[in-house]
Structure 1
Amino acid sequence: MKRFWIVLTVMLPTFIEILDTTINNVALRHIQGSLSAGVDESTWIITSYLVSNAIVIPMAGWLSRIFGRKNYLIFSIALFTISSFLCGISWSLTSLIFFRVLQGIGGGGLQPLSQSILLEIFPKEKYGTAMAIYGMGIIMAPILGPIAGGWIADNFSWRWIYYINIPVGIVSILMTYLVIEDPPYLKREKLRIDYPGIIFLALGIGCLQIVLDKGEREDWFDSKFIIILSIISLVSLVLLIWWELKKAEHPVVNFRLFKDKNFFFGNLVMFFTFVNLFGSIILLPIYVQNLMGYTAFLAGLVLGPAGIVQLIAFPLSGKISDKINPKIPLAFGIIMCAYSTHIMSLFNLQAGFWDFVYPRAVLALGMAFVITPLAVMTVAYIPKEKMQDATPLSAVIRNIGGSVGTAIVTTIVSQRAQFHQFRLIENLTPYDIPYQIAVEKLNEYLQPRTLLPPEGAIYRELIRQAQAIAFNEAFWILSVGMLSMLVTIMFFRRPTYKKKGGTHDAIH
Structure 2
Amino acid sequence: MAINSKRLSGKAAKRPADDQNGYIQGPLKWAIAFTVSLGAILEVIDTSIVNVALKDMQSSLGATISEIGWVITGYAIANVVLIPLSAWLGDYFGKKTYFVFSMVGFTIASVLCGFAVNLPMLVICRILQGLCGGGLLAKAQAILFETFPPSEQGLAQAVFGVGVIAGPAIGPTLGGYLTDGLGWRWIFFINLPIGILAVAMALLFLPKNRSKKEQVKQKVDWWGIGLLVVAVGSLQTFLEEGEKDDWFSSRFIVTLAVFAVGGLALFIWRELTTKAPAVDLRILRHRSLAAGSLYSGILGMGLYGALFAVPLFTQSVLGFTATQTGLLLAPGALASATVMILLGKLSNKIDPRLLIASGAIGTTLVMNQLATITPQTGTEELFMPLIWRGATTVLMFLPLSLATLGSLPKEAVSSGSGFYNLTRQLGGSIGIAILTTLLAQREAFHKSVLLAKLSPYNLETNERLDLLTGVFQQGGSDATTAHQQALASLENLVNQQAAVLSYADIFHFVGIVFLCSLPLILFLSKPRSGAKAPVAH
Q: The TM-score by the shorter chain falls in which range?
A: over 0.9
* TM-score of the pair, normalised by structure 2: 0.91
Trace 1:8-407 onto structure 2 (pairs within 5 A): 8-182=34-208, 188-246=215-273, 248-407=274-433
Q: Runs of 5+ in structure 2 lacking a partner?
A: 1-26
Q: What's the offset of the Cα at 1:22?
A: 0.5
Partner of residue 521 from structure 2, selected from 450, 471, 489: 489
Distance 1:502 1:292, change over 3 A: closer
Give the Cα–Cα distance (whole angstroms) in 1 for the partners of residues 151 and 476 of structure 2: 70
Amino acid of the residue matched to residue 319 of structure 2?
G
1:131 and 1:430, CA in 2 relative to 1: closer, same or farther beyond 3 A? same
State the distance in 2 between where 1:376 and 1:499 align. Answer: 14
* Unpaired segments ≥5 residues, structure 1: 504-508
Q: CA deviation at 1:294?
A: 2.4
Q: Work out whether residues 320 and 329 of structure 1, in 8 Å CA contact, stay in contact via their aligned partners in 2.
A: no
Tell me which amino acid in the other structure corresponds to 2:224: G
The C-alpha deviation readout for 1:126-148, integer Å capped at 9, x for no partner, is: 22222211211111111110111
CA distance in 2, matches of 1:494, 1:405: 28
- Kindly provide the CA deviation profile for residues 233-260 of structure 1, in whole angstroms up to 9, marking residues without a partner as x: 01101111111012x2211111111111
- 1:424 counterpart = 2:456: no
Deviations 1:18-74 (A, max 9, x none): 111111111010111111111100000111111111111110111111111111111
Match of residue 506 from structure 1: none
Shift of 1:320: 2.1
**Using a 3 Å threshold, how does the CA distance of structure 1 residues 409 and 500 change in structure 2: closer, same or farther?**
closer
- Which secondary structure state, in structure 2, belongs to the residue aligned with residue 109 of structure 1? helix
CA offsets, 1:461-505, max 9 Å, x none?
Answer: 0001111111111111110001112112222232343464999xx
Tell me which amino acid in the other structure corresponds to 1:5: A
State the Cα distance separating 1:183 from its structure 2 match: 6.6
Number of equivalenced pairs: 502
1:79: how far off? 0.9
Q: 1:72 to 1:184 in 2, by over 3 A?
A: closer
Quote the residue 1:475 is aligned against: 507
- Distance across 2 between alignment mates of 1:263 and 1:459: 51
Question: What is the distance in 2 between the residues matched to 1:450 and 1:283?
Answer: 39
Q: How does 1:412-451 map to 2 (within 5 A)?
A: 412-449=438-475, 451=477
Note if 1:457 corresponds to 2:489.
yes
**Distance (Å, rounded) in 2 between the aligned partners of 1:149 and 1:475:** 25
Q: Is the 8 A contact 2:410 2:534 kept in 1?
A: no
Tell me: CA distance 1:132–1:197, structure 2 relative to 1, closer, same or farther (3 Å): same
Q: Tell whether the 8 Å contact from 1:67 to 1:188 is kept in structure 2 after alignment.
A: no
Report the Cα distance in structure 1 between the residues aligned to 2:146 and 2:208, rounded to whole angstroms: 10
Three-state SS of the structure 2 residue aligned to 1:21 is: helix
Equivalent pairs: percent with the same residue?
A: 33
CA RMSD of aligned residues (A): 1.7
Deviation of the 1:293 alpha carbon: 2.4
Moved more, 392-401 or 124-133: 124-133
Contact 2:97-2:209 within 8 A present in 1 as well: no
Structure 2 CA distance for aligned equivalents of residues 126 and 245 of structure 1:
34
Report the 3-state secondary structure (helix = DSSP H, G, I; strand = E; otherwise coil) of the residue aligned with 1:251: coil
